[in-house]
Structure 1
């Protein structure tokens, strides 16, 4: 071995031996002077205190603090000067380890290098007036000269905590922080400006309540990770550098700043989670927030930044600002599931500066919100929810989709959509109840084109439909509607005043005004409106969905229609230039100011139809003017008569009809349901090939024209009572004969019509111009008294009226 190596080893051995000797000497010194050293340690610690520290015993711990000397303090109690008033002990530790400088011990100086607190509780208490037991620690008075080494407060380079329950109870600020520290290790480095600490932490957060009335953040979560902390004595600012801290199973990047120069300590904490599940993030928040957020969910992790800023004094909640990035996610809400969801979300509880950090001044904003609901893509540039105490949602909703997708939303009990497209742009404002939009008020447009729609309750189908809905602040305007049902084509424009308000509060007061035009309308294609709605709309409840509410509006609202139709078809009936005013309510149709041209003349009509089950009761008041009676009877299937049909009639009819009756939901007249009166005047009339007259006339009037019986003027009044038509006494003056007639014509059985027929040929009186003389000669000569009754074959038979002869 080289000589220099031997010398080095000898020197090193001497040094090690010297250290061992010194360490053993220090240990023996500590053991021999426990009482005096305990007094020194206590005195050294009390230099930094406004209160007292009590240490029951002190024992050296050999080798543990090598090369220093480690002291174990048993049952250490730290109290502030006002402990007797509030009874909250700042520190109670069963074991407190203190490592001291070995060389300093020989000079009688206690220089603390490390403190370890084990099996202890720390209770930082602030009463309702703002006094804190943390005032036990003296603050440096910057106006005084720097203390000498003997007077300087204790400084230590390392500290540890094991099994320490830490509580900060601020009664004035309604704050409660409680942590169960499993393990904490720290290294402190002092400088002229302050100190810097490196800390490794493992603790459970029992409470992190910035407002005890709201509940705790990160409750019962495990926190584990490092901290780098810097403290500046002159400014009183403590800074926590960004580091990754695990909260529960999720990593967070956390940085913070605490300004202790202020009376109540201002703080700001920045938290970032780059990849966290929605429910995991929600579980970290106070119950008043998490209970609401748990009504929602996102399938994939999200990126979240959060800033919490406030102070430790009174004043309620801290300022909270949250930013979340959501991309290609699935959002589950109380109202449904939104797929392909993308947005940037911001939350703040300080929406308007100066209004306070409250729910009322809180807001949520979602920027560039895009997604797909029930396969319908949509976007909202900026969706806002303001005032979380009474939430109000606003935004502009845009969407383009195949209208058949609406069947997934509104069900199939009201409207069923086939092909077609919808283009929607609506600005909305709505209250939020239980995190669902309630009573939204909207403005904007909904355009529907080339759509096939079935209105299920009325069993009516429309093809190639177009609708434009224009929502204003209060009213709804419906424009450019094109409906096609079978051969019928309808163009409509409508409006509803005060629509949205009545929609939610009084749907029965909604009045929809329509202007309707059609080149061709086939009434048989709309017979579904005669029957009751099937199924009936459900009664509205607070839990009713959109479809149920809309269905109720359709059922209870009233519709006022002004109709102009070029051609109206119903079975054999054809009318032109039709105009009408209709008022549709829940169970009735009011018919007003109806005018049509038919069979060369005109019809005017007023009335109503009342729905009851499968039967519809109608009331009609009709004026008929100059109508071709042949076409008129043909159009209405001869009004149920079998003997007298359109083939037997000619002439022009003028009439007033007041009638009630019943019609089925298929549009068929119910048997024996007609009641009312018919006043008529037939001009230029003729009875053609009427078999009942011919069967008698061929014997009584063999030389007269029985196939073409003309009437100069025929008028009278019929009273209709179900199957019986009462013919009030009337005179018939024809080319065949004159006749007085009265009685009952039955559509079934019971016909009994008395006829007084003079055999005198009316042609003999054609030259008489004096009306009085013609009237007197009308019944001259032989008069037959006949009776028209039911025959055995169901046809009308005419026979002599023997009873009439006896009375004569």
Structure 2
């Protein structure tokens, strides 16, 4: 029996081998004996059905590519579109395979039942007039019955194929790629049944100005019908998967005359990251870092017509319950999250019609509960109703939602905030009362470390109270680096400032501080010895400050007991009553710093010095960047009135050519010690030494302009002799001084040598005229024989008088720039603080 079975089995195997052999032989015979005939026959019959040109780089016939069927292989294929002129490609492909039965092909009947497309681009277009570019097939006729090339596509394979649908009439753009997709198509006249299974990447779906989707990877299994006569796509059923989370899709899209859509998508087992994956990456930003545990459900409907200026309605119901949302980078979670919401748009082309409702949001951050609600009407001109109540741990909050520029933080914020109104109305004074903001923030031991700013914010405490558009500060104290502060007052327009990039903020407050370290604050770096500053005043800042600062550090300038005011508007800072103690005396300052020009700071100031140590002035101002006359040479106390204007860089470096100043100064109990030019004068004045000169009082007007210091005629009565001095000293250290001193009788100068340099004054004393000329590093002393002494004195006095008049008028101009306090925070109708 077993022998019989083996014989039968062998016969069956032998018969199968004969059949396979016949298939191979028939395929080879068809391929090699009828290759040219098959190609010519296919081209001839295909051209009967096509309206548009087809370019093929190379064609071949293979028996093995899709064995046991015959494959017609086409390389570098380009099919032109149906628009007039056929200038653009409807389809371009690296390779197209058409597969058919080899036995039928022997009798000239080619029925294509499988198509493969590799590395191809298909561009479907609809013009503004409604014409389409894919009418490539001729209309059916009686000749159809005689066609010997027919399509019966039970299998379609797409590999690396890109599709783009561009409807200029409805402003809809769809771009899709398929790495690997299999489909089947059955045709019944103008109707097609299509089934597809595979991987799809949606590059973008854009409707008008609204981007509906971007960069989405999907696995799909779908069955749909397409009716070409009425241009209707009917999605009968579809299951799509993104990030391993499935959702269903069904509905239709018709685009014969006025396109119409009715699509419904839903899932009961979704998550946050899957929702984010379906949104455009450009709009999700950092949200892509979040993952969730627990189910997210949604129900989406898109229904209506795509008209010229109106789109369909969108409705998305969504929610989650007892879920966890985790930041993928830090691991911080929101626990026990529950919410339900509705996103609706009556017209997807009109963001004015959009609304978002979150009637109840609850959860826990680091075991601390919070609740909130949100209603957002009109996405272009938003009307918001927002509430939040919770005890927030700063460290946990920053780990869950990292803020750019903040490295870490700790402390707690007790928040109870309510907002209702249109944020846009906060820009205009006449609408501001329509916005209602209320609530409080209690700050407790807040610490913040910043990534780009060295000093951290330390021990921030106090209360913040919202009152419509303003924020009241109650005993808000803290430290920023080495500086400390205590603030009481108001931040005006603060809500608009936080919501809009171009909105100003007003500060009307009283500042108290034990120490303000400007070296650290201006450098904004950890290094205490860094001399790089970047000074600027924000366009958005309006300030009315009363200051009480015990100490301030700026380079060698260390004033104490600082009292006064500061006003800022339009990038211009004013002060008119700033006083402080420094350098052994007191100073009073008024003036203006204008930082409205890029990288420049214009200074205009007036200050008074009361009993200030002269040597300390030279020390604090680093000897004014010269080594000719230094703090070690000087002693005494100065009373002075100084008017000055200058332009600095944003790093507070002076542009010397811009400095103009008029100084009225009196120095009492002064000393000039070890000053080298005086030593060189000694031989001419018959004095043994002029090393230590002491004088009881010295008064003069000094002028600075055009990079030159002008010293008018000044009489110095010292312990050694009486000297009259005048002259100029340039910023590049060129000096030209005239010196007049009495000639002692005990020793006569050579009459020829001193001829023209000796004159008698009104009292009959012989006066010797000398000059000091050269540079501070290379100068000489000689007789001044030129008869210009009176002229020099008159010219210098004229310079002083002219500059004094200029500064007097400048003070009047500054007064016109000042605003009354009640005008400082007057946001005018254009929202920028400018008069209409």
Q: TM-score, normalised by structure 2?
A: 0.47
Scaled by the length of structure 1, what TM-score is found? 0.49
User: Which structure: larger Rg?
Assistant: 1
